[in-house]
Amino acid sequence: MSHRLDGKGRLIDRSKQLRFTFNGKSMTGYEGDTLASALLGAGQSVMGRSFKYHRPRGVVAAGVEEPNALMNLGRGGRFEPNQRATTTPLFDGLTATSQNHWPSLDFDVGAVNDMAARFLPAGFYYKTFMFPRFAWKHVFEPFIRKSAGLGQSPTEPDADRYEHAYHHTDVLVIGGGVAGLTAARAAGAGGAKVMVLEQTAHWGGRAPVDGGEIDGTDPETWVNSAVEGLENAQNVTLRPNCMGAGVYDHGYVLGYERVAETTPGDGRPRHRLWRIRAKQIVTATGAIERPLSFPGNDVPGVMLASAVRDYVVNWGVAPGKRTVIVTNNDDAYLTALALKAAKLEVPAIIDVRPTLMGPLAEKARKAGIRLMSGKALVGVKGKKGVTAVMVSDLEGKASPEAIDCDCVAMSGGWSPVVHLWSHCGGKLTWDDHEAIFKPDPTRPPLGADGQAFVATAGNASGAMGLAEALADGHEVGRQAAKAAGGTLTRKAAPKAAETERQPIKQVWIMPTSAGPDKRMKMWLDYQNDVKGSDVQLAAQEGYQSVEHAKRYTTLGMATDQGKLSNINGLAVLSDALGQPIPQTGTTTFRPPYTPISMGAIAGEARGPLFQPIRRTPMHALHETAGAVWEPVGHWRRPFCFARTGESDHEAVNREIVNTRENVGMLDASTLGKILVTGPDAGKFLDMLYTNMMSTLPVGKCRYGLMCSENGFLSDDGVVARIDEQTWLCHTTTGGADRIHGHMEDWLQCEWWDWKVYTANLTEQYAQVAVAGPKARKVLEALGGMDVSKEAMPFMTWHDGTLADIPARVFRISFTGELSYEIAVPANRGAELWEKVREAGAEHGIQPYGTEAMHIMRAEKGFIMIGDETDGTVIPQDLGLHWAISKKKEDYLGKRAQERSFMASPDRWQLVGLQTLDGSVIPDGAYAVGEGRNANGQRNTIGRVTSTYYSPTIRKGIAMGLIHEGPQRMGEVVDFATLDGTGTVIKAKIVDTCFYDKEGAKADV
């Protein structure tokens, strides 16, 4: 039984007791505890149920590699699933619940899966649930979703806030163990600007637990002085609680800082995502111990040997009273000695190696521990906790001896953490002596200059001893400083010494002759419940590639991404395939190193800061006026101004009728306004627009179309000639930035020798459209400019002062009414809006929104980019031949429009549509013709592009693209309804213009 030890624990403060709950049960721990150490200290060793078989599971590790102890943390807006208890710092008031159990952790219905394990092998889902096809959606998936899955999804919005931070550095050291600190010191001494990230709250990594001697002192003392030195160095930044999550091209690194996890609600950001640019990256990410694969290796109480001593030394917690050690290397002996030092029982060390002669074995013998050489652990007794282990010879042939114990500390050797080295393509090499995949320094990740930009240091390099690790860290740090523009320090590496180690013996499963029954109980991947038998089955079924075997068995696909299972799994696969391990290779290491919160990724981008909302100068006035908003690009535009008791539809109709009968006003500020000037500006615009702009006289306006080089209609708007060399091009609201970019693209990349400059002046002006029969009266009331028909005819513009505001007034119309658009400096836009409203009051002026604008233009048969166009429509489809110059030699899109398909008479053509019963055709409806296509669907002969109820003619009107449409005037076509009833709406093909075809109303 796990329990707290008296007077031990280098990381905890026993004077500060913290209360927390686990599955509703109140428990206590100490400041400095992790949730895992506190649970163990409180005697709670079962921490969850496994994913597939719902087996009871205890904590295996003490760090980020933990596969089992995943918790739901917090409540409500602070609920977060799948949090590793081993990396969750304890705080007062923490609430945790275990996952994947129902109804309770002690008794779980899903454990029946365990008894049926024989029938749930790898690939089971693929094989079983494929047929009958409908059953997946209706039977299997709902059932599996209910019984599977780890944590639950949060149901409330995240109550905390998050942020990003950017940082630039010469050298980034990831990992604050002794190798990382050494590298940072060497890089700093070389004059480089250095940042060090450490994922835990503590510096020094494993060294203070594992012992040895650095520069004549114990590792902890050395670490403290090294950190102090780095803190005092001006050019070094230390960042604890910040994990290097991913390494990306161009020296880009994401750091995941846990800022305020232990103080929820204190107002600080919970997590901060560091977006770092480093010239050189040193990954000093250490190593992770591997489990051993023996039957029953997932029973709670079976743990990594290093984790067992971590709990004892760091947190003063004993995972058990009697711990059996099982190992294939010397490292586990440190655990045996640490347990002995804590006055705990160690009945035996089971070592696969035939002879145990090294100094660590000697120490263990002297401590009175029974060493069992050449032996294997062949079974574990107990279900919710270890009660005994069975020991036999390596092959498992001898009759087993039972040893009573309540904890098993296993060590299968150590694997360097090569993840961050590998993220950008660093290659690995197999070191058979150490039995590790380690970085191959001759095949590093390469930067834009073809040079290495990542190097590894210490254990991460495969330098597994303390002395080698520090020497490596020092040298890598020196070289990183040099590569980043600093110098090679002449300071010497720290000198280290530790007890000599004996070589590891590669044993990947025990007993080595285990048959299927034993392999079925050997867990490789705890979190995804993948066993030795599953990997073997995958190999038998022909999955030779490690990547395929991974996906078939789900080995390494859980939230821990196979940190413990990877090497063991591919060793078992190699064995099954009868090939050496390096030939099998590894799966791909991808960021993030461990899961990072969604909040950290989003940063500040939530709530009001989710996206930039663009506001016109009159936005606040519209809001006060009760505008119903519509997003147009990032802009918010009033859809309509609904009055109390009025539906949006009623408001739109009122706005239209009032504009047609009296006068309306529209905030047109969002329209794109691009200034184009220069000696070649006319030539340039003639290329951009389908019609002639160079011939437009100064003071006049002309409507124009812009196409892409593929001929498709891209944007439209009114162009005003400002002076001899200058034009002002209006674009659609959504097109302003795009068209400005389009212009610059052609000017910078193709016609770089043309003398043309452009400037996007969209935001410089607030623009108000005043439209309706009484529009002139409103402008006259504003005063200051002659707006008569004689002084300012249709399609002209004038500069002047209107209502004491400097203004440019355009006589253009999108409604078909007498209409002016008044542009003033944006900072005076709100003032203009108010003045227009006041001046128009006696003429019945009302603001109208985008929907009224859309309907009025549709009544006039004016096209709308995005309605009548969708990227596949050319101007000729829309009957806009009048706006396409025949005289011009060229314009963008001309060549494409001459291609046979574009010139085909079979292209659907724009027509007006009037329903016979006056109803409104559904948006997006298709016109259906005779017969059916190969899929049995009715043939289509056209589609609706705009469809509205017109309050002006009191009927449903629409525009649509119809096959041979213009030749079929007066014919009735059927539009399929969208309700699936197969009914149709009959509409007559008519002219696109429903209102004032002569244009008399606009030209008064």
Partner 1 sequence: MSKAVSALNGATVTGFARVTDTGCRGMITLRGAPEVLTRVATAIGLPTPDTLHMATKEGLAVGWMSPDELLVLCPYEDAPALAETARGAAGKDHALVAVVSDARAVIRVEGEKADEVLRKLTPANLDAFEPGMIRRTRLAQAAGAFWKPDANGFEVMCFRSEAEYVFGLLENAAQKGAELGL
Contact with partner 1 (CB under 8 A) among 574, 616, 653, 815: 616
**928 within 8 A of 976, measured Cβ to Cβ:** yes
Angle at 81 between CA 128 and CA 162, to 5 degrees: 130
29, 59, 102, 767, 845 from 79: Cα distances, Å: 21, 21, 19, 48, 53
Q: Which of residues 633-672 bind partner 1 (CB under 8 A)?
A: 634-635
Of 58-66, 290-298, 755-763, 837-845, the segment contacting partner 1 by CB under 8 A is: 755-763
Q: Does 746 bind partner 1 (CB under 8 A)?
A: no
What amino acid occupies position 379? Answer: G
**Taking Cα atoms as reference points, which of 464, 553, 559 lies closest to residue 568?**
553
Q: Which is nearer to partner 1, 281 or 407 (CB)?
A: 281
Of 217-225, 351-359, 539-547, 608-616, the segment contacting partner 1 by CB under 8 A is: 608-616
Of 360-368, 515-523, 533-541, 610-618, the segment contacting partner 1 by CB under 8 A is: 610-618
The alpha carbon of residue 745 and the mean position of all alpha carbons in its chain are separated, in whole angstroms, by 30
Residue that is written with structure tokens 């305020």 in the block: 260
Contact with partner 1 (CB under 8 A) among 258, 419, 521, 828: 828
Q: Which is nearer to partner 1, 609 or 1004 (CB)?
A: 609
Contact with partner 1 (CB under 8 A) among 275, 700, 938, 968: 275
Q: Which is nearer to partner 1, 165 or 969 (CB)?
A: 165
Q: Which is nearer to partner 1, 44 or 616 (CB)?
A: 616
137, 574, 698, 918, 970 from 915: Cα distances, Å: 41, 72, 44, 5, 12
Instruction: Provide the phi-psi class of 536: left if phi over 0, else alpha when psi is between -120 and 50, else beta.
Output: alpha
E strands in 221-321 = 236-239, 242-248, 252-258, 271-283, 287-289, 302-304, 317-318
Q: Does 158 bind partner 1 (CB under 8 A)?
A: no
Of 442-450, 604-612, 700-708, 909-917, the segment contacting partner 1 by CB under 8 A is: 604-612
Q: Which of residues 171-200 bind partner 1 (CB under 8 A)?
A: 193
Q: Which is nearer to partner 1, 386 or 743 (CB)?
A: 743
Q: Which is nearer to partner 1, 403 or 719 (CB)?
A: 719
Q: Minimum CB separation from partner 1 for residue 162, in Å?
A: 10
- The site that binds partner 1 (CB under 8 A) totals a number of residues, namely 50
Of 47-55, 178-186, 506-514, 605-613, the segment contacting partner 1 by CB under 8 A is: 605-613
Q: Minimum CB separation from partner 1 for residue 849, in Å?
A: 18
Burial 813-826 (b: 16+ CB within 10 A, else e): bbbbbbbbbbbbeb
**54 within 8 A of 102, measured Cβ to Cβ:** no
DSSP string, 932-952: E-TTSPEEEEEEEEEEEEETT
Q: Which of residues 786-805 bind partner 1 (CB under 8 A)?
A: none
Return all residues near 878 (Cβ < 8 A) that are at least 6 apart. 713, 863, 868, 869, 909, 910
Q: Which of residues 241-270 bind partner 1 (CB under 8 A)?
A: 259, 266-269
Q: Minimum CB separation from partner 1 for residue 250, in Å?
A: 12
Q: Minimum CB separation from partner 1 for residue 184, in Å?
A: 16
Q: Minimum CB separation from partner 1 for residue 558, in Å?
A: 33
Q: Which is nearer to partner 1, 275 or 322 (CB)?
A: 275
Q: Does 755 bind partner 1 (CB under 8 A)?
A: yes
Which residues on neighbouring strands pair with residue 532, listed in sequence order?
Answer: none
Q: Beta 236-239 vs 523-525: how paired, if at all?
A: unpaired
Please tell me the distance from the alpha carbon of residue 123 to that of residue 116, in angstroms, as a whole number.
Answer: 15
Contact with partner 1 (CB under 8 A) among 237, 373, 429, 694: 237
Q: Which is nearer to partner 1, 128 or 263 (CB)?
A: 263
Return all residues near 170 (Cβ < 8 A) that are at least 6 apart. 187, 192, 193, 194, 278, 279, 280, 481, 484, 485, 486
Of 134-142, 308-316, 600-608, 904-912, the segment contacting partner 1 by CB under 8 A is: 600-608
Contact with partner 1 (CB under 8 A) among 148, 625, 761, 902: 761
Q: Does 891 bind partner 1 (CB under 8 A)?
A: no
Q: Does 694 bind partner 1 (CB under 8 A)?
A: no
Contact with partner 1 (CB under 8 A) among 7, 103, 368, 608: 608
* Start-to-end C-alpha separation, the chain: 96
Q: Does 323 bind partner 1 (CB under 8 A)?
A: no
Contact with partner 1 (CB under 8 A) among 123, 441, 595, 825: 825
Contact with partner 1 (CB under 8 A) among 826, 856, 884, 925: 826
Q: Which is nearer to partner 1, 561 or 758 (CB)?
A: 758
Q: Which is nearer to partner 1, 233 or 657 (CB)?
A: 233
Q: Does 611 bind partner 1 (CB under 8 A)?
A: yes
User: Positive or negative CA dihedral for 34, 39, 43, 47?
Assistant: negative
Q: Does 599 bind partner 1 (CB under 8 A)?
A: no
* DSSP state for residue 702 in the 8-state scheme: E
Q: Does 765 bind partner 1 (CB under 8 A)?
A: yes
Q: Which is nearer to partner 1, 193 or 721 (CB)?
A: 193
Q: Does 601 bind partner 1 (CB under 8 A)?
A: no
Contact with partner 1 (CB under 8 A) among 201, 492, 598, 613: 613
129, 367, 685 from 132: Cα distances, Å: 8, 64, 62
Contact with partner 1 (CB under 8 A) among 163, 261, 472, 475: 163
Of 554-562, 612-620, 949-957, 984-992, the segment contacting partner 1 by CB under 8 A is: 612-620
Q: Does 763 bind partner 1 (CB under 8 A)?
A: yes
Tokens found for residue 777: 């009266």
Q: Which is nearer to partner 1, 603 or 847 (CB)?
A: 603
Q: Does 365 bind partner 1 (CB under 8 A)?
A: no
Q: Which is nearer to partner 1, 634 or 894 (CB)?
A: 634
Q: Alpha helices, DSSP H only, in 63-200?
A: 112-115, 124-128, 133-135, 141-147, 178-189
Q: Which is nearer to partner 1, 823 or 989 (CB)?
A: 823
Q: Does 603 bind partner 1 (CB under 8 A)?
A: yes
Of 513-521, 547-555, 615-623, 911-919, the segment contacting partner 1 by CB under 8 A is: 615-623
**675 within 8 A of 726, measured Cβ to Cβ:** yes
Q: Minimum CB separation from partner 1 for residue 276, in Å?
A: 10
What amino acid occupies position 757? Answer: Y
**37 within 8 A of 16, measured Cβ to Cβ:** no
**299 within 8 A of 325, measured Cβ to Cβ:** no
**786 within 8 A of 762, measured Cβ to Cβ:** no
Question: Exposed, middle or buried: residue 256 (CB in 10 Å: 0-12, 13-18, 19+)?
Answer: buried
Return all residues near 47 (Cβ < 8 A) that are at least 6 apart. 36, 39, 57, 58, 59, 68, 69, 71, 85, 98, 300
Q: Which is nearer to partner 1, 725 or 885 (CB)?
A: 725
**Taking Cα atoms as reference points, which of 353, 356, 323, 357 lies closest to residue 338?**
323
Tokens found for residue 572: 């078992």
Of 209-217, 386-394, 621-629, 823-831, the segment contacting partner 1 by CB under 8 A is: 823-831
**Taking Cα atoms as reference points, which of 376, 271, 318 lies closest to residue 592?**
271
Q: Does 168 bind partner 1 (CB under 8 A)?
A: yes
Burial 298-332 (b: 16+ CB within 10 A, else e): bbbbbbbbbbbbbbbbbbbbbbbebbbbbbbbbbb
Residue ranges in contact with partner 1 by CB under 8 A: 161, 163-168, 193, 237, 259, 266-269, 275, 277, 603-605, 608-609, 611-617, 634-635, 675, 677-679, 755, 757-759, 761-766, 825-828, 830-831
